[in-house]
């Protein structure tokens, strides 16, 4: 039987050495708590006690910027995982990559960490929003460090935030992905509420971008790895078994974010939002957290009879999308609904046409 993958996101700190124009962590800047090895230890023990052998656990160190916690923290935390975890587990780091150095690389290699770094496209697109506090863009430093990872034979993934600028240039974005062979790309549509939304793409713009990108990708004999498209094709062929959290049938079942004080939230987008906190792992078991009324209520959001998504042709591929980019509170559908309808429909038509052409 295939094991279920659970992702535990450790929110290491909300501080960051960068000041990106779209950072959602800024709303949480007052929270100065930093994850300690002691908290990691207590939480990991609770997690190991709860999940049985049917599960594999991915521990993802997230931020702010997780490398700000320094090497000592990671040496001790990884050692602790080795000692306590009897399940199969993975370690991931989601980083802006600018603090990477030889010692970090060795540490990540020794502990088989998968690295996911942020880069939004070629320099003019990336440096528009991804900046140091001085205002200088990060492209040069990040790509140098990516080269360092390549030279050392270390695999990494790239998360690209799609904003109101790069969304207009799918061809350039596709050429950019081609320059990173064997790298898995995650596309994350930019979304900030209220007046900051001005730098987010409109849903129709995002849909057109995805369609153009898909057409380059599907026609390419050596396509780059773009997780959204791999997932859509897999879903169309095999039915939904999404690993991309946006289209998971219930992300609250398999994604959990833990802050420096041991509080547990649906994911890193909600850290600090007390009304969505499931409980505290320093004081309660993972069983109590998992069975909390809040988690159960979130878990039921897509199956509630008043969810209008249930009549959508693509419900089984989308499950109302992401709560963090929902139109109007976590119970409503994804703001990017129309973009997803556009790309699902386009990919489905493509598949149907290809099948008809088969002898």
Please say whether the beta carbons of 177 and 162 come within 8 A.
no
Number of H helices, E strands in the chain: 13, 10
Please state the closest distance from residue 341 (CB atom) to ligand SF4, in A: 5
Please say whether the beta carbons of 99 and 15 come within 8 A.
no
Please say whether the beta carbons of 11 and 271 come within 8 A.
yes
Query: Which region, judged by CB under 6 A, interacts with ligand SF4, from 189-197, 232-240, 319-327, 351-359?
Result: 319-327
Number of residues engaging ligand SF4 in binding (CB under 6 A): 33
- The nearer residue to ligand SF4, 96 or 166, going by C-beta atoms, is 96
Among 128, 232, 277, 323, binds ligand SF4 (CB under 6 A): 323
Bridge-partner residues for 137, per DSSP? 131
* Binding of ligand SF4 by 189 (CB under 6 A): no
Please state the closest distance from residue 329 (CB atom) to ligand SF4, in A: 13
Binding mask 80-119 for ligand SF4 (x = CB under 6 A): ----------------x---------------------x-
- Count the Cβ atoms, other than its own, within 10 Å of residue 151: 9
- The nearer residue to ligand SF4, 178 or 341, going by C-beta atoms, is 341
Among 211, 245, 282, 351, binds ligand SF4 (CB under 6 A): 245
Give the phi and the psi of residue 225 in degrees, each rounded to 5: -90, 115
- The nearer residue to ligand SF4, 253 or 288, going by C-beta atoms, is 253
CA distance 226 to 331: 28
- DSSP string covering 37-89: HHHHHHHHHHHHHH--TTEEEEEEEESS-GGGGHHHHHHHHHHHHHHH--S-E
Helix (H, G, I), strand (E, B) or coil at 109: helix
Name the site residues for ligand SF4 (rule: CB under 6 A).
16, 18-20, 23, 25, 63-65, 96, 118, 245-246, 251, 255, 266-267, 269, 309, 312, 314-315, 318, 320-324, 333-334, 337, 340-341
């Amino acid at each position: 039987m295939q094991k279920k993958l659970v992702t535990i996101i450790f929110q290491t700190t909300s501080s960051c050495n960068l000041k990106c124009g779209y950072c959602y962590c800024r709303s949480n800047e007052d929270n100065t708590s930093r994850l300690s090895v002691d908290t990691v230890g207590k939480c990991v023990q609770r997690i190991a006690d709860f999940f049985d052998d049917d599960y594999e656990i991915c521990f993802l160190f997230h931020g702010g910027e997780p490398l700000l916690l320094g090497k000592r923290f990671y040496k001790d935390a990884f050692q602790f995982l080795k000692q306590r975890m009897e399940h199969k587990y993975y370690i991931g780091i989601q980083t802006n990559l600018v603090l990477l150095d030889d010692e970090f690389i060795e540490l990540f290699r020794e502990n088989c960490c998968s690295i996911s770094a942020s880069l939004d496209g070629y320099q003019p697109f990336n440096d528009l929003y991804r900046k140091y506090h001085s205002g200088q863009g990060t492209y040069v430093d990040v790509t140098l460090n990516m080269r360092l990872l390549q030279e050392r034979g270390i695999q990494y993934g790239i998360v690209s935030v799609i904003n109101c600028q790069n969304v207009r240039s799918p061809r350039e974005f596709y050429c950019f992905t081609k320059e990173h062979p064997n790298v898995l790309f995650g596309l994350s549509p930019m979304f900030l509420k209220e007046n900051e939304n001005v730098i987010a793409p409109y849903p129709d713009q995002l849909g057109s971008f995805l369609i153009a990108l898909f057409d380059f990708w599907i026609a390419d004999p050596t396509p780059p790895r773009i997780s959204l498209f791999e997932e859509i094709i897999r879903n169309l062929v095999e039915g939904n078994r999404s690993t991309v959290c946006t289209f998971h049938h219930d992300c609250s079942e398999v994604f959990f974010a833990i802050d420096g004080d041991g509080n547990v939230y649906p994911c890193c987008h909600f850290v600090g939002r007390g009304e969505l906190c499931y409980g505290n792992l320093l004081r309660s078991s993972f069983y109590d957290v998992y069975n909390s009324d809040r988690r159960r209520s979130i878990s039921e959001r897509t199956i509630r009879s008043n969810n209008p998504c249930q009549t959508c042709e693509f419900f089984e591929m989308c499950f109302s999308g992401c709560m963090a980019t929902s139109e109007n509170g976590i119970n409503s559908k994804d703001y990017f609904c129309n973009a997803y309808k556009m790309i699902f429909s386009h990919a489905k038509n493509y598949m149907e046409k290809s099948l008809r052409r088969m002898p």
